[in-house]
Amino acid sequence: MTITEDILPLTVSIKQTENILCPGTASAKLESAVKGGKPPYAFAWSNSSSTASASGIGEGNYSLQVTDAVGQKAQAEFKVTGPPALKVEPVNLRSATNDRISDGKGGVEVKGGSEPYTYSWNSGETSHLASKLPLGPGRVIVTDKNGCTASAEFIIKEKVLPELTATRLASGEPIRMEKIQFDADSIVIKPEAVPSIDELYEFLYDNPTIIIEVSGHTNSLPADDYCDRISTARAKSVADYLINKGIESRRVISIGHGKRKPIAPNQTPEGRKKNQRVEIRLIKIEE
């Protein structure tokens, strides 16, 4: 009497049991599930593994061929993906007063990886925001929950307007923007004035409840009506620059005082240059 062995068709599937923790690493694990056929089974993975599972797997496409004791074969494929790359970008960098006062500021924008993140700044701070950054080159390192790291470097510049503080403005004292100079008969902002106005923009961005007045002034040589017009237009040029960068127009009021508020004698070129100025002062702090 002949006994016929009933062997079911051989099938195989693959599942991932361990993940890739950090981009570029090989920490995944794949396991096979075999049904039917006749044991023992021979395993041939595309990464040269020859057991029922394959470990130390990186990102990519993998295939497995299983052969049973009677020569039946079955194949399966699997794609292993990793987490998105951890990317770090410093944002909202703010200048430091000088090389003796470490009061530069900055934040960091993180994409990819796996939350939560931890932070390490060159100032020793460990939040996503830093407020004690020293002048010069800096670095922030971000680590995700899997231990993956990414870093970014940046430069903290020296303040152009160290006197520009909420406390100073709140005293009611106007702050003279000495580096904002205009060519004769011009209302066009000169390139060398841009860093000062950018610093004013950053100040307003960081202090959203403050409303300021930008006032233009001239020396006493031109006619009164001309001084009024050009001082007003110059103040408006500064205000428009701030508004175009994103400051609400209601927070920046521009006005021209012409030659009516000199701060130096107009008899010398030096005095006239001082009088031909732009100042800012606090209008109010919103509740």
- pLDDT 10s digits, 61-106: 999 999 999 999 999 999 999 989 999 999 999 999 999 999 999 9
Q: What is the pTM of this model?
A: 0.73
Identify the structural domains of the chain with CATH numbers, from first to last.
11-80 (2.60.40.1080), 87-156 (2.60.40), 166-285 (3.30.1330.60)
Strand partners, 43: 66
174-188, 192-206, 245-259: the lowest-pLDDT one = 174-188
Spatial distance between the Cα atoms of 3 and 10, rounded to a whole number of angstroms: 21
- pLDDT 10s digits, 7-24: 899 999 999 999 999 998
Q: Which among 129, 141, 17, 153 has a CA at the least distance from the CA of 86?
A: 141
In percent, the amount of the chain with pLDDT more than 90 equals 76
Spatial distance between the Cα atoms of 158 and 98, rounded to a whole number of angstroms: 6
Q: Which among 107, 123, 286, 81 has a CA at the least distance from the CA of 204?
A: 286
Spatial distance between the Cα atoms of 148 and 88, rounded to a whole number of angstroms: 12
Please determine, for residue 283, whether its predicted confidence score (pLDDT) is greater than 90. no
What pLDDT does residue 173 have? 73
- pLDDT 10s digits, 190-214: 898 899 999 999 999 998 999 999 9
- pLDDT 10s digits, 99-157: 999 999 999 999 999 899 999 999 999 999 999 999 999 999 999 999 999 999 999 99
Sign for the pseudo-dihedral over CA of 164, 166, 167, 173: positive
**Given phi > 0 = left and psi -120 to 50 = alpha, else beta, which region is 283?**
alpha
DSSP string spanning 135-161? SEEEEEEEE-TTS-EEEEEEEEPBPS-
Residue 198, classed as helix, strand or coil, is: helix
Angle of the 194-206 helix axis to the 224-244 helix axis, nearest 10: 60
Diameter of the chain measured on Cα atoms: 130
What pLDDT does residue 277 have? 87
What pLDDT does residue 157 have? 95
Residue with tokens 């530069």: 104
Q: Estimate the share of the chain in helix, then strand, then coil, as percent rounded to the nearest 5.
A: 20, 40, 45
Give how far Cα 224 sits from Cα of 14, 183, 258, 274, Å: 86, 18, 7, 18
Phi, psi of 169 (to 5 degrees): -65, -40
In percent, the amount of the chain with pLDDT more than 70 equals 98
Return mean pLDDT, the chain: 92
Cis peptide bond upstream of 137, omega within 30: no
